[in-house]
Structure 1
């Protein structure tokens, strides 16, 4: 897989339900980024209850998904970073990448941690809150990573698998457990996710409901 864009943003004011709030969802391509333990250097993280931190230090999204969304929202001003991702990756497939997998990303080393659960700020960037449901239904969620080794990332760098979590669930499987179906054919996947120490406790609590 190849990195086609790296993206950062500043906190900008937006209107939400009659109030002015700040958001870092507006990210745009830059020459390079530096990833650290809890966030991307110089990238706005407005609300650390839901963004940033060890398990959400950097957000990745698939470049291949852009065509799907451009067809649904053709009038938007399309640039990489549209989903608030820090890293846009070509060849990224949620059905193949597993929670706990470790990748070389530029000079950094990262571990796959959690799928994206979108909030209203994605809806603000898209101009409609209906995109939140569409985002979940599409299973094109992208993923957060934990940074094992700090480093730099730029467009053209490879995103290379270093170690596979052989018994892990895929991003797609975990999203299905979180938002879609927890019964029947998913029983074995549910048991595997609950038993995996690399699935976050927050996600385990949600899928166990």
Structure 2
């Protein structure tokens, strides 16, 4: 299926701030719980991790495009550059929808939202606007909530088993939030989308409100 990656907290780049964005492939069976892989860490629990962002998936398909855009960074020579727990080829934001349910080992995961890049990508790649580039490109990756905890071996297959809301691809959701920002009908629909994370539903609801009349 690709690779399963986990990381530990360590100083990040010149900032020296703690981060677990550096993920490395594992060679052993891991347990995935409602808050992620048992061997994985997050330094900033306010903005990373938690039940709605338990597992991060970033397509290895995007790496070639990033090499063409920013040069051959050593972080683009192998999976893990974007802090992802799952790295695959053949699945991108155009193919995966919020609400999609996947079997991974004996665990069951559901796509909850796209990824919102933060400053740590700037430090990781030594590119001042890397987070903004990722956000504006739509090549953000996505998060899963864990519906059923389970065991995941390094060679476990990722198998999609349900698509309750196939019309809301991760790409379409990204467009509604960051491109077609004034499409209030789309934002209202997202606010009511039960498979979307609660935080993003609240954001959609705020953005769907009519502008104040002055």
1:75-86 mapped onto 2 (5 Å cutoff): 75-77=72-74, 78-86=77-85
State the secondary structure of the residue aligned to 2:92: coil
1:39-58 mapped onto 2 (5 Å cutoff): 39-58=36-55
Query: How high is the TM-score relative to the length of structure 1?
Result: 0.88
Candidates 3, 6, 12, aligned match of 2:4: 6
Contact kept, 8 Å, 2:106 with 2:151, in 1: the verdict is: yes
Query: How high is the TM-score relative to the length of structure 2?
Result: 0.86
Q: Following superposition, which runs of at least 4 residues in structure 1 exceed 4 angstroms of deviation?
A: none
**Which structure is higher in strand share?**
1
Q: Paired residues, what number?
A: 203
Q: Which moved more, 1:79-88 or 1:152-161?
A: 152-161
1:174-185 mapped onto 2 (5 Å cutoff): 174-183=173-182
Deviations 1:157-206 (A, max 9, x none): 322111111365211111112222133xx454333212211222211222
Residues 124 and 204 of structure 1, relative CA distance in 2, 3 Å threshold? same
Matched, 1:102 2:101: yes
Structure 1 unaligned runs (5+)? none
Deviations 1:68-122 (A, max 9, x none): 1122233311221110000102211212211111111222110000100011111
Q: Which moved more, 1:166-175 or 1:137-146?
A: 166-175
Offset of residue 155 of structure 1: 4.7
Paired residue for 1:119?
A: 118
Q: CA RMSD in A?
A: 1.9
Offset of residue 55 of structure 1: 0.4
Deviations 1:121-154 (A, max 9, x none): 1111111231111101211111110111122334
d(CA) in 2 for partners of 1:123, 1:106: 33
State the secondary structure of the residue aligned to 1:165: coil
Residues 156 and 64 of structure 1, relative CA distance in 2, 3 Å threshold? farther
d(CA) in 2 for partners of 1:68, 1:30: 25
Q: Which moved more, 1:173-182 or 1:133-142?
A: 173-182
Paired residue for 1:138?
A: 137
